[in-house]
Each structure stands twice: as structure tokens, then as C-alpha cells.
């Protein structure tokens, strides 16, 4: 069974530029999550989808971050404009359904200069 | 907000020894999960324990959960150098999204 796929793996941008990350969850998984992990800390939830609907986006900085999950499969996370403090690893995870084990992708490491 | 708090923050042991990591949390949970993260890599799921379970085993891993004390422990027996990683506990809330602690950094030396 293929795992969660993410791209790109690394991205370096300058502040005020925009960037987009892509996630392909495990086939058949209804729930998809985006987490932000700053160096030395645990991951923090940004947004959670159930199929193509948003379940929780309370910690998403909506003035600069946006995410969508069209057709309830792949998802994209966008940052526009980026700030220095957005430098982090962005992790995508999926689970069969709410309350089931979450499986993580390898992450996208973002550096904002 | 981060709910889980792992203890200790760092642990250094020799191969063959057992490693114990603890996790405390603040609010009621549905499940508690433990993950491993090697440097610069993604999170690997180790074990999920539900709120009505007290103990669970998986290979060299043993997890306990005490909901009355809002705490969990992860025991790795007969540790190996390959176990060197950061270990996170994660609790879920109403929406089942995970709240992670800052992790325990485990170093296993040959």
C-alpha cells in the first residue's frame, strides 16, 4: 500500500513570496490533515478535512494560509505572502476515518529567507 | 495548543537497556498515539491506545494508559542504535486531530 505522498520535499523562498504544497493521501482515506512542525517542537494542526469538507481550521492563519481538498482526494496548502516565521516542516497525514490511525507523509521543509 | 507533555526531554542509554518515556495530558481523550521521528524524516506511527484500554504491546514496545492520572508511558525494551529518534505522544480531541507534545529525544549508543 502506497503511503502519503507530498511534494515538493524542500522549498526555499524569500519573504513575501507565495508557495504551495501538495499532498496525496492513502487511497480510500476520508480524513486529511495538514500540520506545521517548527524545529524543536511537535507538529501543530493547521487544518483538517473530512472528504472535501473542513472539520477544523481554527489554528490556520487565514490571512495568509489557505487549503483545499477538491474532490475529497488530493489537497494543496498555500501560503501567500510568506513570513520568516513560516519556516518549518509541513506535514500531511491521512486516516481511514475520524479517530483512526493517522499516517504521515515525509513532509515539505520550507525555508523563508 | 500542545496538550501532551513528554518527559524526559532527552534520554541517553546504551544498547540493550530499556527506555521509558512518559506523557501527561490535560483534557479527556478518545485515543492516545505514540509516534517516532528520525532526524529530518516524517513521523512513523508506533501504537494507538484507546481510552478504554490500559496496556498495549507491539513487538518491543509496551504502552500504558492511566486516564485517571491523564498519563501514558512508552517502554522500549532491549533498545538498539536504530531506536535513536524523537518520540512524540499525541492525544486527540473532539475532532480527532492530534495534539502533540515537544517530544523526547532518545539516543541509544552502541
Q: What averages of pLDDT result for each successive group of 10 residues across chain B (110 residues)? A: 77 97 90 89 90 96 96 97 95 80 94
Q: Which CATH superfamily is domain B5-109 in?
A: Immunoglobulins (2.60.40.10)
- B42 forms beta bridges with none
Task: Compute the count of residue pairs across chains A and B with CB atoms less than 8 Å apart.
Answer: 59
- Delimit the domains of chain B by residue range: 5-109
**Cβ contact A104:A45 at 8 Å:** no
> What are A's interface residues with B at a Cβ cutoff of 8 A?
31, 33, 35, 40-45, 48, 55-56, 91, 93, 95, 98-99, 101-107, 109
Confidence grade of residue A75 (pLDDT, cut at 50, 70, 90): very high
Min Cα–Cα distance to chain B from A105, Å:
6
List the domains of chain A with CATH numbers: 5-97 (2.60.40.10)
**HSE of B61, CA atoms in CB hemisphere, 13 A:** 18
Rounded-to-integer distance, Cα B57 and Cα B73, Å:
12
Q: Does residue A4 surpass a pLDDT of 80?
A: yes
Considering only CB atoms, B98 lies closest to which of A40, A45, A109, namely A45
Cross-chain residue pair A42–B2, CB shorter than 8 Å:
yes
Q: By the 8 A CB rule, do A102 and B45 touch?
A: yes
Residue B1: per-residue pLDDT? 47
Amino acid at each position: 500500500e502506497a503511503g502519503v505522498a507530498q511534494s515538493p520535499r524542500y522549498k526555499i523562498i524569500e519573504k513575501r513570496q507565495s508557495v504551495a504544497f501538495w499532498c496525496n493521501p492513502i487511497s480510500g482515506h476520508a480524513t486529511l490533515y495538514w500540520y506545521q512542525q517548527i524545529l524543536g517542537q511537535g507538529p501543530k494542526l493547521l487544518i483538517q478535512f473530512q472528504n472535501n469538507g473542513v472539520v477544523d481550521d481554527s489554528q490556520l492563519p487565514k490571512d495568509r494560509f489557505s487549503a483545499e481538498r477538491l474532490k475529497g482526494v488530493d489537497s494543496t496548502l498555500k501560503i501567500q505572502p510568506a513570513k520568516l516565521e513560516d519556516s518549518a516542516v509541513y506535514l500531511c497525514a491521512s486516516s481511514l476515518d475520524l479517530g483512526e490511525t493517522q499516517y504521515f507523509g515525509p513532509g515539505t521543509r520550507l525555508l523563508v529567507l | 495548543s500542545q496538550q501532551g507533555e513528554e518527559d524526559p526531554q532527552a534520554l541517553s542509554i546504551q544498547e540493550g537497556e530499556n527506555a521509558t518515556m512518559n506523557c501527561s495530558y490535560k483534557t479527556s481523550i478518545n485515543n492516545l498515539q505514540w509516534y517516532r521521528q528520525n532526524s529530518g524524516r516524517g513521523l512513523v506511527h508506533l501504537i494507538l491506545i484507546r481510552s478504554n484500554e490500559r496496556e498495549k504491546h507491539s513487538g518491543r514496545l509496551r504502552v500504558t494508559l492511566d486516564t485517571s492520572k491523564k498519563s501514558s508511558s512508552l517502554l522500549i525494551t532491549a533498545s538498539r542504535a536504530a531506536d535513536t529518534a524523537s518520540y512524540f505522544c499525541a492525544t486527540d480531541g473532539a475532532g480527532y486531530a492530534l495534539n502533540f507534545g515537544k517530544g523526547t529525544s532518545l539516543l541509544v549508543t552502541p
